Amino acid sequence: MGRPGRSAVQDLVPRLVESEGIDLVIANAENAAGGMGVDIKSAEELFSGGVHILTSGNHIWKKKEIYPYLENRTRLLRPANYPSGAPGRGWVEWRDKRGLRALVINLQGRVFMPSHVDDPFRCVDAIIKEHGDYSPVVVVDMHAEATSEKNAMGWFLDGRASVVYGTHTHVQTADERILPRGTAYITDLGMCGALDSVIGIEKETVIEGFLTQLPRKFDVARENVMLQGIVIETDEETGKTRDIRRLRVPWKREDG
Question: pLDDT tens across 202-232, in order?
Answer: 999 999 999 999 988 889 999 999 999 999 9
Number of domains within the chain: 1
Q: Residue 195, Cα to own-chain centre: how many angstroms? A: 18
Instruction: Say which CATH number the domain at 215 has.
Output: 3.60.21.10
The range of the structural domain enclosing residue 104 comes to 2-251
CB contact at 8 A, 248 and 226: yes
Q: Which helix (H) or strand (E) holds 13?
A: helix 2-20
Please report the pLDDT score of residue 255 as a whole number. 52
What are the start-end ranges of the E strands in the chain? Answer: 26-28, 53-55, 91-95, 101-108, 138-143, 163-167, 177-178, 184-186, 193-194, 225-234, 241-251
Burial (CB count <10 Å: 0-12, 13-18, 19+), residue 3? middle
Please report the pLDDT score of residue 245 as a whole number. 98
3-class secondary structure, 225: strand
Q: What is the mean pLDDT of each run of 10 residues along the chain (256 residues)?
A: 96 97 97 94 97 97 95 96 95 96 98 91 98 97 98 98 97 98 98 96 95 92 96 97 98 69
Please report the pLDDT score of residue 256 as a whole number. 45
3-class secondary structure, 178: strand
In-domain check, residue 256: no
- Active-site annotation holds for 59: yes
Please report the pLDDT score of residue 180 as a whole number. 98
- For 39-81, what is each residue's pLDDT tens digit? 999 999 999 999 999 999 999 999 999 999 999 999 999 999 9
Contacts of 91 (CB under 8 A, 6+ apart): 77, 80, 103, 104, 105, 106, 127, 131
Which of the residues 59, 143, 168, 170 is marked catalytic? 59
